[in-house]
């Protein structure tokens, strides 16, 4: 399987101290995506201009002649680039990097097992993230089974726009709820939301624990109507936790798009951080439906 990161000592991806496994590939393409390097199911080349010293080593080693040294730094002809990684191997300053590395199930488990002492002390575990981990059901099921056999708490951070086969093997789902209107959901993420809402109701009715996280964005989903629909829908679920994490918008993904050579928010859609007044209004709307709000996390 292809992973683009393994994050140790994570404290915002479920209870306790965790190791988070980032799996490549996602069926969504959210305009504000914080991990755009994880959208593609294939490895990607990243380039950081400010690290580049213009030595030309990458240009010389490229087998397809895809790289050119210019006054603006290294320019890649993507029609020629085969993402072989030779440029990253010879770059002395790590200005060129490859995002995405193939791992076997055994290799991933070895990385997880290294952290069990911290998991045990903090009642933590492992979180499978992405991208969209449910896009790789066979690999994910194998890892969940191996972790379950070791008594490791298992969380899956997901859009729920994917396979249902991991439900009975997951202790906690971390679910992003982005928009209640299917047309708007498609506009901002590239896919409709009917499957997401159906799967969320399914795990709630099955009695499986989950956390709801809403990336709160002015111009996208922070309006009164969408928050009201979100609160009413969540209150209708058989769900004991009744807690929502609101994640105020930031544009951390912009720098990653720069490294990929792609544009952040290419449609120039209106995205902004909600004001304190908007945050309080959202808190009050959820509270009126019996739902507690936490900011961040």
Q: Summarize pLDDT for 191-218 with one digit per residue, the tens.
A: 999 999 999 999 999 999 999 999 999 9
pLDDT of residue 165: 75
pLDDT of residue 23: 96
Q: CA 14, 19, 24 angle in degrees (round to 5)?
A: 95
pLDDT in tens, 57-114: 999 999 999 999 999 899 999 899 999 999 999 999 999 999 999 999 999 999 999 9
With residue 69 as reference, give the H or E element that holds it.
strand 67-70
pLDDT of residue 161: 82
Residue 57 exposed, middle or buried by CB count within 10 Å (0-12, 13-18, 19+): middle
Q: pLDDT category, 163, cuts 50, 70, 90?
A: low
Please give the model's pTM, rounded to 2 decimal places.
Answer: 0.89
pLDDT of residue 12: 86
Q: Rounded to whole angstroms, how far apart are CA atoms 22 and 10?
A: 12
Q: Rounded to whole angstroms, how far apart are CA atoms 265 and 258?
A: 12
């Amino acid at each position: 399987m292809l992973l683009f990161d393994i994050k140790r000592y994570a404290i915002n991806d479920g209870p306790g101290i965790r190791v988070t496994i980032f799996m490549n590939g996602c069926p969504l393409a959210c305009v504000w995506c914080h991990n755009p390097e994880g959208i593609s199911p294939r490895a990607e080349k990243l380039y950081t201009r400010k690290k580049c010293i213009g030595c030309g080593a990458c240009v010389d080693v490229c087998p397809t002649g895809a790289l050119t040294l210019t006054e603006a730094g290294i320019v890649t002809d993507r029609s020629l680039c085969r993402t072989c990684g030779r440029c990253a191997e010879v770059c002395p300053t790590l200005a060129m990097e490859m995002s995405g590395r193939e791992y076997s199930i055994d290799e991933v488990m070895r990385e997880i097992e290294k952290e069990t002492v911290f998991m045990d002390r903090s009642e933590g575990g492992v979180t499978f993230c992405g991208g969209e981990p449910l896009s790789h059901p066979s690999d994910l099921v194998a890892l969940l089974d191996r972790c379950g056999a070791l008594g490791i708490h298992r969380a899956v951070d997901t859009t729920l726009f994917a396979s249902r086969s991991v439900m009975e093997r997951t202790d906690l789902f971390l679910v992003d709820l982005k928009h209640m209107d299917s047309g708007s959901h498609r506009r901002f993420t590239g896919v409709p939301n009917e499957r997401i809402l159906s799967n969320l109701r399914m795990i709630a009715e099955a009695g499986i624990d989950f956390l709801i996280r809403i990336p709160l964005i002015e111009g996208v989903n922070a309006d009164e109507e969408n928050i009201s629909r979100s609160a009413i829908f969540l209150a209708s679920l058989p769900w004991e936790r009744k807690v929502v994490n609101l994640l105020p918008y930031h544009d951390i993904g912009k720098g990653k798009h720069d490294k990929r050579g792609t544009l952040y928010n290419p449609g120039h859609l209106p995205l902004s951080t909600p004001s304190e007044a908007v945050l309080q209004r959202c808190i009050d709307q959820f509270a009126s439906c019996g739902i507690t709000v936490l900011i961040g996390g």
